[in-house]
Amino acid sequence: MRYLLLLLIFSFAEIAAAQDGHSFRSRVIENDEFRTPLYGATVWLPDLQTGATTNLSGYFTLQELPEGDLRVRISFVGYQTLEQTIRIPAEEEPVFALEPEEHELGELEVVARGRESTQMEQAPLSTIEVTSLPLDNIPRLLGEPDLIRMVQNLPGVKTDSDFTGGFLCAGAAATKT
């Protein structure tokens, strides 16, 4: 019985509070041919120090507003702020259309400087002169020194298989003397 009494008291309190103020529902869109809704636009009533933001469809609702004329300020990043007077209660649901705000930016120049990496400083490229190699240490193919097989056995050189003459060098720079 006590719970029923408390429920009735709270219900009457909510009904009385709801009758004190009016609600205002509207929509914020971009002023274009598609009437694109602006999600996250800010709606601010400076006289009452209250506001709302729009949902995915551009709609917002303000609750418990007093009757009469109120100033409303609607803003969204990249669009001109709209200030207007609205009438509470509204006879119909207004739609606020914001204009894109265009800014011309100055010239932009991108300048970059190369920087040697720590790895390049620690491990400089090395060169091997083929003319100064003793031919006795070079692997042989059918009795002749095989220079390609020698290059394939150097560090940083990758071969596809033992039966091909092709190879890949890591960071190689070839010079001709």
- Asked whether 89 and 67 are in contact (CB, 8 A), the reply is yes
Q: Any idea what the CATH number is for the domain that residue 92 is in?
A: 2.60.40.1120
Residue 90 and residue 141 in one domain: no
Is the pLDDT assigned to residue 38 strictly greater than 90? yes
- Asked whether 94 and 60 are in contact (CB, 8 A), the reply is no
Digit-coded pLDDT (tens) for 90-100: 889 999 999 99
**Nearest by Cα to 149 from 134, 112, 2, 159:** 159
Q: List the domain range (segments joined by +) for residue 134.
A: 125-166
- Asked whether 94 and 87 are in contact (CB, 8 A), the reply is no
Residue 31 and residue 75 in one domain: yes
Whether 39 maps to a domain, the answer reads: yes
Q: Which pLDDT score is estimated for 95?
A: 95
Whether 20 maps to a domain, the answer reads: yes
Contacts of 30 (CB under 8 A, 6+ apart): 36, 37, 38, 79, 97, 98, 100
Residue 91 and residue 145 in one domain: no
Whether 78 maps to a domain, the answer reads: yes
Beta strand 95-98 with 59-65 is: unpaired
Domain's final residue, options 98, 114, 136? 98
Is the pLDDT assigned to residue 106 strictly greater than 50? yes
Is the pLDDT assigned to residue 156 strictly greater than 70? yes
State the amino acid at position 147 in one-letter form: L
Residue 71 and residue 17 in one domain: yes
Query: What angle is formed at CA 135 by the lines to CA 134 and CA 140, rounded to 5 degrees?
Result: 145
Q: Which of 52-66, 90-104, 107-121, 158-172 shows the lowest mean pLDDT across its residues?
A: 158-172
Whether 108 maps to a domain, the answer reads: no
Q: How many domains does the chain have?
A: 2
Is the pLDDT assigned to residue 74 strictly greater than 60? yes
- Mean pLDDT, to the nearest integer, of 78-101? 94
- Mean pLDDT, to the nearest integer, of 37-55? 96
Residue 11 and residue 89 in one domain: yes
Whether 110 maps to a domain, the answer reads: no
Confidence of residue 26 (pLDDT cuts 50, 70, 90): very high
Whether 11 maps to a domain, the answer reads: yes
Whether 175 maps to a domain, the answer reads: no
Query: What angle is formed at CA 114 by the lines to CA 109 and CA 116, rounded to 5 degrees?
Result: 160
pTM above 0.75, yes or no: no
| Mean pLDDT computed over every residue of the chain | 79
Q: Which pLDDT score is estimated for 56?
A: 95
Which ranges of 68-175 would DSSP assign to H, the alpha helix? Answer: 118-122, 147-152
CA dihedral sign of residues 145, 146, 149, 150:
positive
Whether 117 maps to a domain, the answer reads: no
Q: Which pLDDT score is estimated for 175?
A: 46
Of 102 and 128, more confident: 102
